[in-house]
Structure 1
Amino acid sequence: MKPYLISLAVGVAVGLLYSVVNVKSPAPPTIALVGLLGMLGGENLIPVARSLIAHFAG
């Protein structure tokens, strides 16, 4: 979890720097990032569901 928090913090810092310097971010559009989030959620949905079923069934 710690690497994710560090990555988020660095991303926010770079975003703030881009804002101060008034430079457009080279990151993909927000819609692409939302799609990526959906892909990651879908990828993890089955393992989480299996874990929950095993927990409540066992």
Structure 2
Amino acid sequence: MWGSMLLALGTGLVIGVVFQTLRIPSPAPPFLGLLGLLGMFLGQRLVPWIKVWLDHRGQ
């Protein structure tokens, strides 16, 4: 998992340097869009934990 995250971060950094060097405007979403993506990511991570918690609570 960490390998994928580091690969994605590294790729993003390289693309950012290329875009800045070529003076290409970034296609990244505005800050609120990034917050929405963070919420989606956290929601996906929470569901398995909630399921486990409910299973242990029901026993």
TM range (shorter): 0.5 to 0.7
- What is the CA RMSD across the aligned residues, in angstroms? 1.8
Moved over 3 A (4+): none
- Between the two proteins, the alignment pairs up a number of residues equal to 53
Residues 7-56 of structure 1 show CA distances to partners (whole Å, capped at 9, x for unaligned) of 110111101111122211112222212111111102221322455x45xx
1:11 maps to which residue? Answer: 12
Q: Take 1:26 and 1:8, find their aligned partners in 2: how far apart are those partners?
A: 16
1:30 maps to which residue? Answer: 31
Name structure 2 gaps, 5 residues minimum.
Answer: none
The amino acid across from 1:46 in the alignment is V
Q: Take 1:6 and 1:16, find their aligned partners in 2: how far apart are those partners?
A: 15
> How does the TM-score come out when normalised to structure 1?
0.67
Higher alpha-carbon deviation: 24-33 or 6-15 = 24-33
> How does the TM-score come out when normalised to structure 2?
0.66
Name structure 1 gaps, 5 residues minimum.
Answer: none
